[in-house]
Amino acid sequence: MTRVEIDPNVRTRGNETYARTDEADGDLNIGDAVILYESEDRIEWDGTVTRFDRGLVYFRVDWANVREMTR
């Protein structure tokens, strides 16, 4: 599964966040399930790609289901 590092403090309405498209470790398409992570605190969330805009990729995030990184 594709992993993307995010800043969990950057959020948009509708429980979304975004990252630069070049920060993903694989290909991304709308509807893809991804693992979003924050390396400093070693935490991650499940996310879904919702859209692309101006070099950014947006993700719907289940913020309540944070967990320790698995790798």
pLDDT at 14 > cutoff 80: yes
Q: Work out how many domains the chain is built from and give that number.
A: 1
- Give the pLDDT band of residue 25 (cuts 50, 70, 90): confident
Domain membership of residue 38 as a residue range: 3-68
* CA torsion, ordered 44, 45, 46, 52, to nearest 10 deg: -90
pLDDT in tens, 52-63: 999 999 999 999
% of the chain residues with pLDDT over 90:
76
pLDDT of residue 60: 96
> Which CATH number fits the domain that encloses residue 37?
2.40.10.330
pLDDT of residue 17: 96
In three-state secondary structure terms, 14 is coil
**pTM of the full predicted structure?**
0.90
